């Protein structure tokens, strides 16, 4: 009898909960699409693609409510709301709602964190790493990596069957060298000890997806199990950074890499926010966490841009030809010694890179967590504290209203005379507002240098590229298995 009563109570509670969930958004006049996460897990597609399906299905709506695990989430479609969430209402949406285990030394100290005071101080201290002047001084490192990469491609017989991995080797090596410098013992920057580490941490594997789901949608269980996002590499990476900083403390010469910045920060003593008095010790561990995150945030994303750019160029030989002309002219004029300024002047290359990130934004969805209840400006929809806002970047980039004929690869959209036509907050490859990607400039220079050197020495065999879907990942748009074929140029 007791069993029957308990079962009845259990079923009733379940029914009431499901009913509450299924009407959560409807009560605010917002349409609701259930099972988004379920569709992601079972469809073998990227979550940003699922968001796009929902976005297109409710084409007349400006909002679609859903649940991500136990968390209520609102997919926003109007750029006025995107602007409010990412920029003007930053105070209400400064968090991403992505949780890390406080015992996870590498993850819980990175710029991606939720803790506002810690993020603000770290962001303020790290921003000077990415100024144009710093990048200019650092350019000799990127140039050396781009040159080594071309040799690497030349000597690698089966590169065509492994296109993404080859590009990944370049971006990892280039970030490693920009962090730790190049010393006289370095024979070839492509032999990076960090390749395995970055690949394992950024790969959208089932295990990584599961860990990420749990950390986000049930942080209590994640922390109770003491799971760590990057725990496997904690000891290796932190001791590597400690050794580099120790040996560099006795060096006089500046190398203009991230290690130089770390030493400068340590010389200045404890980092302090004068507005709040909040302090962080510039310890080796804190700085190692930042360096680690540059790998996590920068290697896969930059390799993805280069990968899709080369796939589209192989499919659009007229665009490839025009790009070859621009690159050849620049190399001829500078006697094969391209400078930072020369790369910045490659206008058509810049347009190709921008269009690649429009059609295939490496981060296909961005999220924010509401930290203080507010109302969204476009439809006056109330949003409560702790609710998640999804900015469906991939869907916005493929929305006909903002980018006519959105499936066409057309770099002209980014020609200087057309830039004013791009609707603000409809193009978000690096996000926007205070939490925009800190590595934007670095990434663009790294990607453009790699492509410029590659296309000086190689061209691409013509082939079609019309992907139907992308790899299953929480945020990324990528297609690891797609390959192109390099042909050496005379």
Contacting positions for ligand HEM (CB under 6 A)? 86, 111-112, 123, 293-294, 297-298, 301-302, 305, 362-363, 366, 429-432, 435-439, 442-443, 447
How crowded is residue 473: how many other Cβ atoms within 10 Å of its Cβ? Answer: 26
Tokens 């429009």 locate to 358
79-96 burial, b if ≥16 CB within 10 A, otherwise e?
bbbbbbbbbebeebbbbb
| Cβ nearer to ligand HEM, comparing 123 with 196 | 123
Q: Which is nearer to ligand HEM, 325 or 434 (CB)?
A: 434
- Which one, 265 or 459, has the nearer CB to ligand HEM? 265
Q: How far is the CB of 169 from ligand HEM (least distance, A)?
A: 15
Q: How far apart are CA 224 and CA 189, in angstroms?
A: 41
**Closer residue to ligand HEM (CB): 91 or 336:** 91
Rounded least distance, CB 171 to ligand HEM, Å: 8
> Cβ 88 to ligand HEM, closest distance in Å?
14
CB 473 to ligand HEM: min, Å: 13
Q: Are strands 271-272 and 31-32 parallel, antiparallel or unpaired?
A: unpaired
Q: Toward ligand HEM, which CB reaches closer, 123 or 254?
A: 123
Are residues 33 and 21 in contact, defined by beta-carbon separation less than 8 angstroms?
Answer: no
- The nearer residue to ligand HEM, 362 or 392, going by C-beta atoms, is 362
Least CB distance to ligand HEM at residue 432 (A): 6
> In this complex, which beta carbon is closest to ligand HEM, that of residue 93 or of residue 222?
93
Nearest-approach distance from CB 1 to ligand HEM, in angstroms = 55
Least Å distance, CB 178 to ligand HEM, is: 7
In angstroms, give the least distance from the CB of 9 to ligand HEM. Answer: 43
* Helix ranges, 163-316 (H): 163-180, 195-202, 206-217, 219-224, 234-248, 258-267, 284-315
Helix (H) or strand (E) holding 88: none
Q: Collect all residues with Cβ–Cβ distance below 8 Å to 488 and sequence separation of at least 6.
A: 154, 457, 458
**Tokens found for residue 473:** 């990942």
Residue nearest to ligand HEM (CB): 431
Of residues 331 and 430, the one with the C-beta less far from ligand HEM: 430
**C-beta atoms surrounding 337 within 10 Å:** 8
Q: If we measure between CA atoms, which residue out of 469, 347, 472 comes closest to residue 419?
A: 347
User: By C-beta, is 55 or 442 nearer to ligand HEM?
Assistant: 442
Rounded CA separation 73/381 (Å): 13
Residue 387 vs 459, nearer CB to ligand HEM:
387
Region of 481 (left: φ > 0; alpha: ψ -120 to 50; beta: rest) is alpha
User: 470 in helix, strand or coil?
Assistant: coil
Distance CA 302, CA 166 (A): 12
Residue closer to ligand HEM, measured from CB, 21 or 441: 441
Least Å from the CB of residue 364 to ligand HEM = 9
Mapped onto helix, strand or coil, the DSSP state of residue 63 is strand
Q: How far is the CB of 2 from ligand HEM (least distance, A)?
A: 51
| Main-chain dihedrals φ then ψ at residue 34, nearest 5 degrees | -90, 170
Q: Are 460 and 33 in contact (CB under 8 A)?
A: no
The per-residue DSSP string of 391-449 comes to E-HHHHHT-TTTSSSTTS--GGGGSGGGGGGSPTTS--TT--GGGS-TTHHHHHHHHHH
- Closer to ligand HEM at the Cβ: 32 or 300? 300
Taking the complex as a whole, how short is the minimal distance between the CB of residue 367 and ligand HEM, in angstroms?
8
Q: What's the min distance (Å) between Cβ of 420 and ligand HEM? A: 23
Contact in structure between 473 and 338 (CB atoms under 8 Å): no
């Amino acid at each position: 009898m007791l069993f029957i009563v308990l079962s009845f109570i259990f079923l009733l509670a379940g029914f009431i909960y499901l009913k509450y969930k299924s009407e959560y958004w409807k009560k605010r006049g917002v349409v609701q699409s259930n099972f988004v996460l379920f569709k992601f897990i079972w469809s073998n597609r990227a979550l940003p693609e699922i968001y796009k399906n929902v976005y297109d299905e409710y084409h007349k709506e400006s909002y679609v409510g859903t649940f991500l695990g136990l968390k209520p989430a609102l997919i926003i479609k109007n750029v006025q709301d995107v602007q409010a969430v990412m920029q003007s209402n930053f105070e209400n949406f400064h968090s991403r709602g992505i949780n890390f285990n406080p015992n996870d030394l590498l993850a819980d100290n990175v710029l991606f964190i939720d803790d506002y005071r810690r993020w603000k101080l770290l962001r303020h201290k790290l921003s000077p790493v990415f100024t144009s002047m710093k990048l200019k001084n650092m350019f000799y490192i990127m140039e050396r990596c781009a040159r080594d990469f071309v040799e690497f491609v030349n000597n690698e017989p089966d590169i065509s069957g492994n296109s993404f991995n080859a590009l990944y080797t370049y971006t990892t090596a280039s970030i490693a060298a920009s962090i730790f410098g190049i010393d006289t013992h370095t024979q070839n920057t492509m032999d990076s000890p960090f390749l395995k580490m970055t690949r394992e941490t950024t790969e959208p594997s089932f295990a990584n997806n599961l860990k990420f789901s749990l950390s986000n949608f049930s942080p209590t269980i994640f922390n109770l199990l003491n799971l760590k996002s990057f725990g496997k590499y904690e000891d290796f990476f932190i001791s590597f950074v400690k050794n580099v900083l120790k040996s560099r403390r006795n060096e006089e010469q500046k190398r203009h890499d991230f290690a130089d910045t770390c030493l400068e920060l340590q010389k200045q003593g404890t980092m302090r926010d004068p507005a709040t008095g909040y302090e962080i010790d510039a310890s080796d561990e804190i700085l190692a966490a930042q360096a680690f995150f540059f790998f996590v945030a920068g290697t896969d994303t930059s390799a993805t841009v280069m990968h899709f750019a080369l796939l589209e160029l192989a499919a659009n030989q007229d665009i490839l030809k025009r790009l070859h002309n621009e690159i050849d002219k620049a190399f001829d004029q500078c006697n094969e010694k391209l400078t930072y300024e020369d790369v910045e002047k490659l206008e058509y290359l810049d347009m190709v890179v921008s269009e690649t990130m429009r059609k295939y934004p490496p981060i296909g969805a961005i999220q924010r967590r509401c930290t203080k209840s507010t109302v969204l400006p476009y439809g006056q929809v109330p949003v409560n504290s702790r609710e998640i806002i999804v900015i469906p970047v991939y869907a916005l980039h493929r929305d006909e209203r903002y980018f006519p004929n959105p499936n066409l690869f057309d770099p002209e959209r980014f020609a200087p005379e057309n830039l004013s036509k791009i609707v603000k907050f409809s193009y978000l490859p690096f996000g926007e507002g205070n939490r925009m990607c800190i590595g934007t400039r670095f990434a663009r220079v790294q990607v453009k240098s790699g492509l410029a050197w590659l296309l000086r020495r190689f061209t691409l065999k013509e082939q079609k590229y019309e992907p139907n879907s992308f790899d299953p990942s929480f945020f990324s748009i990528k297609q690891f298995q797609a390959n192109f074929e390099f042909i050496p140029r005379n």
